[in-house]
Amino acid sequence: MASIPRTVFSRTSRVLPRTTAISSFQQHRTYAFPAQYQTGDKQTAIVTGSARGIGKSIALRLAQDGYDVCINDIPANKQGAEEVAHEISQIGRKSTVALGDVSVLSEVESVVRSSVDALGPLNTMVANAGIAQVKSLLELTPEDFERMFRINVFGVQNCHSTAAKQMIAQGNCSVEKPGKLIAAASIVAFRPFPLLSHYSASKYAVRGLTSAYAMELAQHGITVNAYAPGIVGTAMWDLIDEELGKTKGAAKGETIKQFSRDLIALGRTSEPRDVAGLVGYLAGRGSDYLTGQTICVDGGIVMS
Ligand SMILES: NC(=O)c1ccc[n+]([C@@H]2O[C@H](COP(=O)([O-])OP(=O)(O)OC[C@H]3O[C@@H](n4cnc5c(N)ncnc54)[C@H](O)[C@@H]3O)[C@@H](O)[C@H]2O)c1
């Protein structure tokens, strides 16, 4: 008989009034659960890397859709995270800030615990945090490669595994009303960009994990999907534009303009809200029958 690991669940026992040892996650599904969370429409989500960019837009979109939202980012972006939380409170939803590095499992466990303590049971995890780096494959160091995978792949694994254990222990997920795990992939999970090769490989891994998680977690009433943005005007693309521009002698802003013009059928660079629209759908009831998918939201670059 295994006990629920204290690191993840100990403080949630205030919300889930039961600490009895259990034999399998399947048994968690039958746990008693406070009445206010069984039938109400209250929904909570964690969005990682949401102090700015796509994550911020997703957090605000989920709040507009009725979610209470936990804002996560690294400590260096504390101020941005607090500003997003404030914007959410102005929408009339609850929010909390839980700083932590998604590449460190214990920090993700602490983020999930803080979210549940402040907002209540977890319905949706959006593993959005990620990094990019422009470098040729032959110049990559083992450290470059490891950092990319630690944040973009281990980060998703840490978020999904911790959130799934939490949801299973809560016992409130079912095929009719699934818990939702959502991750940031990219169009480079379908076709790599040169000089973004280890980034592309990390996003292929996110796509693979998404399908694998969907297969294993369906029995627990949890769906798992990923969004694959194209070229979105954020700090991440500012960096990519600058670094790719250096390799071709292009001025700042030129590469993103050229890529948008030549690659995007709809003819404009994406904005974070384009991506947030898809994530709002994936987090909402309209997508309850969708699982294991990585969906491009790119204005028509990769057509599946
Ligand atoms: N911008 C694009 O064109 C684009 C395209 C495809 C996919 N994506 C993906 O979308 C996601 C968001 O991208 P963005 O453009 O908003 O990037 P961004 O750099 O603007 O924002 C990413 C946020 O994640 C945070 N973060 C980074 N490492 C973290 C860590 N270890 N723990 C917690 N937070 C961390 C950063 O501090 C930042 O606030 C990323 O996963 C990215 O790979 C972006």
Annotation marks residue 213 as catalytic: no
Amino acid identity of residue 13, one-letter, is: S
The arithmetic mean of pLDDT across residues 174-185, rounded, is: 98
Q: Which pLDDT band, with edges at 50, 70 and 90, does 5 fall under?
A: very low
pLDDT tens digits along 81-106: 999 999 999 999 999 999 999 999 99
CA–CA gap between residue 170 and residue 148 (Å, rounded): 32
pLDDT tens digits along 120-149: 999 999 999 999 999 999 999 999 999 999
Q: Which pLDDT band, with edges at 50, 70 and 90, does 304 fall under?
A: confident
The pLDDT, as a whole number, for residue 110 is: 98
Does the structural domain 6-231+271-297 have CATH classification 3.40.50.720?
A: yes
pLDDT above 90 (res 199):
yes
C-beta of residue 16 within 8 angstroms of C-beta of residue 169: yes
pLDDT tens digits along 109-119: 999 999 999 99
User: Which of 111, 118, 54, 112 has the alpha carbon at shortest distance from 89?
Assistant: 118
- Which of 131, 244, 264 best tests ligand 1's pocket when mutated (most atoms within 8 Å of CB)? 131
Question: Residue 249 has which token pair?
Answer: 């002698």
The arithmetic mean of pLDDT across residues 158-170, rounded, is: 98
The pLDDT, as a whole number, for residue 297 is: 98
Domain definitions of the chain by residue range = 6-231+271-297
Q: Which pLDDT band, with edges at 50, 70 and 90, does 61 fall under?
A: very high
Ligand 1 site residues, Cβ closer than 6 angstroms: 48-49, 51-55, 73-74, 77, 101-103, 128-132, 151, 155, 184, 186, 229, 231-232, 234-237
pLDDT above 90 covers a percentage of the chain that reads: 86
The pLDDT, as a whole number, for residue 28 is: 32
C-beta of residue 176 within 8 angstroms of C-beta of residue 22: no
- Rounded to 5 degrees, φ, ψ at 77 are -105, 30
The pLDDT, as a whole number, for residue 42 is: 86
pLDDT above 60 (res 263):
yes
Angle at 20 between CA 25 and CA 124, to 5 degrees: 45
Q: What is the CA radius of gyration of the chain?
A: 19
pTM over 0.85: yes
CA of residue 62 to ligand 1 center, whole Å: 17
pLDDT above 60 (res 217):
yes
